[in-house]
Structures are given as structure tokens and as C-alpha cells.
Amino acid sequence: MWQTNLAQLEKQYRITDPVLLVKSASVLAVVILLFFLASVIPGIELKLGWIAIFGAVVLLILADTQNLDPILHKIEWSTLLFFAGLFVLMEGLQELGLIQYIGDQMVSMIKMVPPENQMVVALIVVVWVSALASSFIDNIPFTTATIPVIVELAENPELCLSLRPLVWALAFGACLGGNGTLIGASANVVCAGIAEQNGYKISFVKFFR
């Protein structure tokens, strides 16, 4: 059965433009390389967003497409606007001090236990707070906003905490919470948008069940 389905997919979605495939793969490789260099080399001050836009513009030029309407029609504009609004919301919550307030409450909870148990309690708190928050706020902007709080926890002289386990706890909790609801992870929203375009509507309640 799976061999038949695979053969049908290969027949339906065969490579129609090998030259464009090579151009796309080359641009993608350059973009990934720039992502890596921007993250590990302190002297490079390129933002990841500008790198992605640069790659898109270069690929549009290399593709030499005369009519952009079909391409623009296939873009998930609603999904892009959703993520843009979500990042603005998270930045607003951070400016209002909500993220810092959550961090202060976490510090208060950890201080209530003896020093020898603080690491275990901190890991449990970080995992479940990030999991619950990421279920209703996309885990990418939440993780971005929470990283400074985790660094403050590790640098707090009143706590006996190590940074590396806290980072892993945040990553695990955000990933776990991202599977909880439809808006918990970017992949969920993108998948729901593509499914709706093909006639399969996935509602928030249906995904949550």
C-alpha cells in the first residue's frame, strides 16, 4: 500500500525544473550558512530576519519569474500575519513586565526550598511553566522572551543553579507545550493553514482533543 502511495506522490510531484531546484538549494545553503555565522561570530551583526529576506529576494531574481501572482497567491499571508501579531504581543508583554513578573515568582518558589533541592525544583518549575505558557502562546516568541529570565535565574547569587540544565528544561517545556494546542507551535499553525487550503479544516478544539 505504501509503495503505491509513494509511486503516486512521485508521479504527481515530480521535479519539473532541475535548474530552479539547484538555484533554490544553493540559496538555502547560503542562508543557513549566514544563520550559523551570525550566531557564532560576534563581529557579524546581521539579524536573522534580514538574512531570510535577502535569501528570498536573491531567489526571486535568480528564478527570473515573469508573473509573481501565482507565487504570491500560494503564500500563507494569514499565517504570517498571525506570527507577526504574536511576536508583537510577546514584545508588549515583555515591555509591560509580565515575563519578568513570572521570573520573579519562579525565584520566590525556588527560594522556599533548601539549597540542595533548588536545582530539582527549578527544573520542574521551568519545564511546567514553559509548557503551560507555550500551549497558549507560540513557543518560539515565548522562548525568546524567557531566555533572559533563565539567565537571571542562573546568575542569581541567592540560588544554587546551573545555566545549562535550565536551558534544557526551557527547551523541553516549550517543545512539550507546543504540542498541546493548535497555536502552541509554528508547525501546527502552518499545517492547519495548508490543510484548510486543501479542504481539511482543523479547529482549535479538534486539535486540542
The grid cell for 43 is 563581529
Quickly state the pLDDT bin for 88 (edges 50, 70, 90).
confident
pLDDT for residue 4 = 62
DSSP-based three-state secondary structure for 15: coil
Nearest alpha-carbon partner for 204 in 173, 187, 172, 180: 180
| Tens-digit pLDDT profile for residues 105-155 | 888 888 888 888 888 888 998 899 888 888 887 788 788 888 888 888 888
Percent of the chain scoring above 90 in pLDDT: 7
Average pLDDT, the chain: 82
Residue type at position 97: G
Answer for the pair 91, 103: CB distance below 8 angstroms, yes or no: no
pLDDT at 7: 72
Q: Residue 115 gets which letter from DSSP?
A: G
pLDDT digits (tens, 9 = 90+) for 35-70: 888 877 777 677 888 888 899 888 888 887 776 777
Local structure of 200: helix, strand or coil: coil
Of 76 and 95, the structure prediction assigns the larger pLDDT to 95
pTM of the predicted structure, to 2 decimals: 0.69
Q: What is the pLDDT of residue 207?
A: 80
Q: Alpha-carbon torsion 102, 105, 109, 110, what sign?
A: positive
**Residues 125 and 106: beta-carbon distance below 8 Å:** yes
Distances (CA, A) of 91 to 85, 87, 173: 10, 6, 20
Per-residue confidence band for 78, with pLDDT thresholds at 50, 70 and 90: confident
Counting DSSP H helices and E strands in the chain, the numbers are 11, 0
CA 8 to chain centre: 32
Selection from 116, 107, 114 nearest residue 157 by Cα: 107
